[in-house]
Amino acid sequence: MAEPALRIDGLTKQFGGLPAIADVSLDIMPGERHLLLGPNGAGKTTLFNLICGDLTPTGGSIRLFGSELVGLPPRKRTGFGLARTYQILTLFPHETLCRNVMLALNGLRRDKWRAWSPFGADASLRAEALAILDRVKLADLADRPVSQTAYGDRRRLEIAMALALAPRVLLLDEPLAGLSRDERVMVQDLLANLPEEMTVVLIEHDMDVALAFAERITLLHHGRVVTTGSRADIAADPRTREVYLGA
Ligand SMILES: Nc1ncnc2c1ncn2[C@@H]1O[C@H](COP(=O)(O)OP(=O)(O)OP(=O)(O)O)[C@@H](O)[C@H]1O
């Protein structure tokens, strides 16, 4: 059997005495579209924070294509092929959209400190950034500062910056939150056309979108995995109803 893209084993995170993630084990296979489902406070964002290194687990292991991530700083994890978007925007507001993407691309380049090639004048880097902005239909706004763009544009820019990292595993935290109807269609279309080999883990509260996208689903509740399975498995499982209805 192929090696999982992401193998989480016995993962635990306590805040004070309370476990936000409790003994979570989960395999996500290469190219899988995986949805993390669960009511508010279930631990979905905490799990993302642990995977990308914004939080340190109390115990357990997280392997990306066999390499242990626990103990590595977030930048190193990016180098292994991991990228994420945040519910809270993390952009450089006074830089243009194009320069934001160039900065993301530049972070991957080995020759980033080449003193004789001023960053802003790097034509190939700019062309690459423009191509990525085009994928999220933002090429028209390339030279506008982020601070002068609408919320929906920023959310799409954030996805563009994650794509600029050419990730093998992409974590998307509510990519549709706060978007207009047109923008939602645009992002849904973008999600549907991500490279097949890219593994995507999604947190999304819009069930229609989430279920249309995901092949496998993990239901979390109180920081624990209740069940993992296909859409049909999760829909038929009485525990799904119990978790959502608090029965
Ligand atoms: N930095 C923190 N300090 C203390 N407790 C935290 C911290 N971050 C999360 N928690 C707690 O961990 C639990 C899980 O929160 P988390 O944000 O991961 O849930 P979630 O499933 O992403 O919820 P939502 O759907 O509302 O975003 C909650 O009880 C939350 O209060």
Mutate which of 21, 36, 44, 87 for ligand 1? The one with the most ligand atoms within 8 Å of its CB, which is 44
Contacts of 218-221 with CB under 8 Å at 24 or more apart are 218/26, 218/34, 218/35, 218/36, 218/37, 219/37, 219/38, 219/243, 220/24, 220/36, 220/37, 220/38, 220/42, 220/43, 220/44, 220/47, 221/38, 221/39, 221/42
Higher per-residue pLDDT: 171 or 105: 171
What is the interface pTM, i.e. ipTM, of the complex? 0.96
User: Ranked by mean pLDDT, which of 103-107, 115-119, 175-179 comes out on top?
Assistant: 175-179
Beta-bridge partners for 68: 63
pLDDT of residue 122: 76
Label residue 115 by pLDDT band (50, 70, 90): very low
Mutate which of 15, 173, 174, 204 for ligand 1? The one with the most ligand atoms within 8 Å of its CB, which is 15
Label residue 88 by pLDDT band (50, 70, 90): low
Q: Please check the confidence at residue 116 and state whether its pLDDT lies above 80.
A: no
- Per DSSP, the three-state class of 152 is helix
Architecture of domain 1-81+167-247: 3-Layer(aba) Sandwich (3.40)
125-144 pLDDT, tens digit per residue, is 899 999 999 988 899 999 99
Residues 6+ apart with CB under 8 A from 99: 92, 120, 129
Å from CA of 44 to ligand 1 middle: 8
Å from CA of 89 to ligand 1 middle: 18
CATH 3.40.50.300 boundaries in the chain: 1-81+167-247
The answer to whether 94 and 146 are in contact (CB under 8 A) is yes
Higher per-residue pLDDT: 167 or 85: 167
Atom of ligand 1 nearest to the CA of 220: 21
